[in-house]
Structure 1
Amino acid sequence: MSITFKYATKSDLPTITDIYNQIIPSRLATADLQPVSVASKQAWFDEFDPHSRPIWVMKDGDTIAGWVSLESFYGRPAYIHTTEISIYIDENYRHHGLGQKALNYVFSQLKDLDIDTLVAFIFHHNLPSIGLFKKNGFETWGHLPDVADMDGELRSLDILGRRFK
């Protein structure tokens, strides 16, 4: 499998949304409890800018295997060099190392994007994602206990971070 990274286009939004919706039932990677619509993700998608806050699709030939995004952190000017990273992999491509490939690709882009700090918000019970990020030098910078009510079960959120300068 040869994965390439391309800037996401508006025509990719339905697939990006579908991949996002695939993980909702697992309660591992998002606090959304019901599937979201393409229309509801449009404003979110429109905030991305390839020159500063990109969203990339991971392609296996013509098929989108996943996506990775860098979003503004906290929306204040002093955080201009810090972004929140999100990675979502299509269910047919999980457990094939795409999370690592996404991180490697993002790391290679940070200098050009003038980003020196990445943060990731990961549910404490999402051990595969926490393992991936920690293996790549991320540290736990925060722990928010029992902040998410997922079907009557309280879940904690970890904030992982890494500086690159």
Structure 2
Amino acid sequence: MNYRYRDATEADLPRIVEIYNHAVASRKCSCDLQPTTVEARRASFLEHTPHHRPFWVAEDGANLDQGAIGYLGFFHFMNERPGYFITADLAIYLHPDYHGKGLGSFLLQQAIERSKSLGIETLSATIFASNEASLALFRKLGFEQWGFMPRVARLEGVEKDLVLVGRRLHEPDAG
């Protein structure tokens, strides 16, 4: 596949919301119970900046007309206290047509490679324990299980365990 990524723009929001709403409907990787809207996502989206906590969309170079086929967002870990800024919490969502086609690996590898330039030393993600595909993706790229939270979510009567995965990328520059 010929994947590429770029910083997302507000014009990408309808496609981002469409991709996210596929995840909501699947009940496999989101705790939202209802689909979201562009307006509901706009404020959170605008908090991302290319040089601190970027939000990227992926495109298929062979079919650019379809727009975003997935996205990766760098989010604040735990909260926005400055002491946590060395860690970013990742969110990756892919259009269902691109599951299992290497897009998740591509985006996660780009995040790993770009993190140092963003001042990020550690990456983390929380994933439902039942989401084996996502857990396998993160394990493949060197993430380890750092935490397990049993039965912290309930989706339509089904309780979900949550796994915290993380990867220390590098130590801070001396000086």
Assess same fold via TM > 0.5: yes
What do you get for the CA RMSD once the two structures are aligned? 0.9
Query: How many aligned positions are there?
Result: 165
Deviation at 1:114, TM superposition (A): 1.0
Map 1:90-109 onto structure 2 (within 5 A): 90-109=95-114
Long gaps (5+) in structure 2: 171-175
Task: Give the percent of matched residue pairs that are identical in Structure 1 and Structure 2.
Answer: 41
Question: Corresponding residue for 2:126?
Answer: 121
Task: Find the counterpart in structure 1 of residue 68 from structure 2.
Answer: 64
C-alpha distance in structure 2 between counterparts of 1:25 and 1:69, whole Å: 20
1:79-103: CA deviations, max 9, x gaps?
0110001111111211111010011
Runs of 4 or more consecutive aligned structure 1 residues displaced over 3 Å after TM superposition:
none
CA distance in 2, matches of 1:56, 1:71: 12
Mapping 1:30-45, distance limit 5 Å: 30-45=30-45
Unaligned runs of 5+ in 1: none
The one of 160, 164, 168 equivalent to 1:159 is: 164
Is 2:89 aligned against 1:84? yes
In the superposition, the TM-score normalised over structure 1's length comes to 0.97
Shift of 1:40: 0.7
| 1:1-80 to 2 correspondences below 5 Å | 1-60=1-60, 61-62=64-65, 63-74=67-78, 75-80=80-85
2: CA distance, partners of 1:160 / 1:107: 14
**Superposition TM-score, scaled by structure 2 size:** 0.91
